[in-house]
Amino acid sequence: MKRISRILLIAIFIATSSFQTAKADEQHKLQLSRQLSIFNSIVKELNLFYVDSIMPEKMIERSISAMLRSLDPYTIYYSEEESDELKMMTTGKYAGIGSIIRYHTDKKTTVLSEPYEGMPAHKAGLQAGDLIISIDGKPVKEMSTDSVSNMLRGEPGTKLMLEIERPGKKGTMTFRIERASISLPPISYYGMLDSNTGHIILDSFTEECAKEMRKAVVDLKKQGAESFVIDLRNNGGGLLNEAVEIVNLFVPKGKTIVTTKGKIKQSNEEYVTRKEPIDEACPLAILVNGQSASASEILAGALQDLDRAVIIGSRTFGKGLVQSSRSVNGGGVLKLTTAKYYIPSGRCVQALDYSHMLEDGRSSRIPDSLTTVFHTAAGREVRDGGGIRPDLEPKTEELSTLLYYLLQDMAMFDFATEFKLKNDTIAPASEFKIDDTTYSEFCEYLKSKNFSYDLRSVKMLGDLKKMIEFEGLGNIVKEELKALEEKLNADLDLSLEHFKKDIKDLLADEIIKRYYGQKGSIVYSLREDVDIKEACRILNNRDEYSRILKPAPSNEANK
On the CB side of 177, CA atoms within 13 Å amount to 30
- Cβ contacts of 208 within 8 Å, gap of 6 or more: 242
CA distance 531 to 535: 6
What residues pair up with 114 in beta bridges, in sequence order?
A: 100
**CB atoms closer than 10 angstroms to residue 48:** 8
DSSP string, 500-516: HHHHHHHHHHHHHHHHH
DSSP string, 172-211: -EEEEEE-EEEE--SEEEEEEEETTEEEEEE--B-TTHHH
305 is catalytic: yes
Going by C-alpha positions, the residue among 137, 159, 135 that lies closest to residue 148 is: 135
Which is the catalytic residue, given 72, 227, 314, 319? Answer: 319
DSSP code, position 291? T
Strands 173-178 and 180-183: unpaired
Its sign, for the CA torsion 351, 460, 361, 400, is negative
CA distance 538 to 56: 60
- Cβ contacts of 107 within 8 Å, gap of 6 or more: 131
Which is the catalytic residue, given 231, 305, 384, 509? Answer: 305
Helix axes 2-49, 56-69, angle to 10 degrees: 150
CA distance 500 to 497: 5
Which is the catalytic residue, given 99, 294, 296, 314? Answer: 294
**Do 284 and 227 form a contact (C-beta atoms < 8 A)?**
yes
Which amino acid, residue 399?
A: L
Going by C-alpha positions, the residue among 414, 491, 484 that lies closest to residue 452 is: 491
294 is catalytic: yes
CA distance 365 to 371: 11
CA distance 482 to 488: 10
What Å distances lie between residue 161 and 120, 135, 138, 157, 377, CA to CA?
13, 6, 10, 13, 59
SS3 128: coil
What Å distances lie between residue 102 and 112, 131, 410, 558, CA to CA?
7, 10, 10, 58
Which amino acid, residue 169?
A: K
CA distance 262 to 490: 53
Catalytic positions: 294, 305, 319
